[in-house]
Chain A
């Protein structure tokens, strides 16, 4: 509300009439209108003028018409919004969620892994549809935090760090390498060399590799 509106409630009423008054100011003004007959009558006249400007069908009403309705409404019990009406938005939301979940489930059941792979193939055939990444001079190694050389750290940590089986399905040598460095850094920081979110499994071949690395490690 502008300064002009604050000093003149009619100016604020004009904004409210057009739905251009902020919610909290509307609340305050509505309370004031209910106690100020002059403001309420002005609202009536503005409504009549609007109808006349639009040349809409109208009927001149009794001067006390609104007051008579207000008296009748005052005698009515307070409104109790029906449970259905009140919960409708929630029901709509829940219904929409159920439909979305069903569709997703159906899609998962219908699509086989081959189809999913085929989809990726299609993507590869249309490189134009893939988001373009701006070229950069940075290398992957530039983005790594600068710590002690991985080999030496790895070697010193190997006595306490459980080894990951690089040959295990799904574990790439790169991941293996990363896990070793990660555990070593954690150990240096005094946190301990254990990664809670990764299955750590001692593998016979990995144990042999560990022994070999320990021998090669600089003392």
Chain B
């Protein structure tokens, strides 16, 4: 099942009244939506509010989401509109050029907009990225390959099993073990942040 199919299954559950499924969509996309909004709005706290407003609007509109586009593309449009409306309401001028949905998710340090007034959050973001990449680099070969093929290349378990010449059950186990290893390093970082805030 592709990434979009996972979203589609969760969306269907939300449309059937399962709010827990929406919570998983929020948890999955909060960082990307936050990153997108931060390209319009500099202040971290304001970004949090606008991101929250984005998800609430998305929930209200989800009844009419027909799945003609990918869920993230649809969510992205809501986030951009919410950020622009926020700036207009604050009597601030939204940027004249829109950020393309595909470009919006791809990190390029030079493209980051006014994020200089929240250096601690930028520092944390960099720290998270470094922790994850360092941990992946130190993983045993078979775990690193499995998690990279899944997360970076977006291959299904079946495709990974074929590429690595092993059973699907082994792929499932390797990906899970890789996630556990990354999580062990990531959790203290986020717990520290929680304690500081």
Contact = CB atoms under 8 A, between A and B. Distances in A.
B35 A2 contact: no
A31 to B, nearest CB: 7
Interface stretch (B12-20, B81-89, B90-98): B12-20
A15 B174 CA distance: 11
Secondary structure of the A contact surface, majority rule: helix
B9 A26 contact: yes
B148 A81 contact: no
Contacts of B73: none
Given A59-B47, A63-B190, A73 B22 contact: yes
A44 interface: yes
B159 to A, nearest CB: 11
Nearest to B1: A19
Contacts of A162: none
Given A10-B176, A26-B9, A66-B27, A59 B44 contact: yes
A18 B20 contact: no
Interface string B1-43: 1110110010001110111111110111111101111110000
A2 B19 contact: no
Nearest to B158: A20
B18 A30 contact: yes
A53 B139 CA distance: 13
Q: Max chain B CB contacts within 10 Å: which of A34, A51, A54?
A: A51
B175 A58 contact: no
B116 interface: no
A42 B168 CA distance: 23
A168 interface: no
Interface of A: 2, 4-5, 10-11, 14-20, 23, 26, 30-31, 33-34, 40, 42-63, 65-66, 68-70, 72-74, 76, 78-82, 84-85, 88
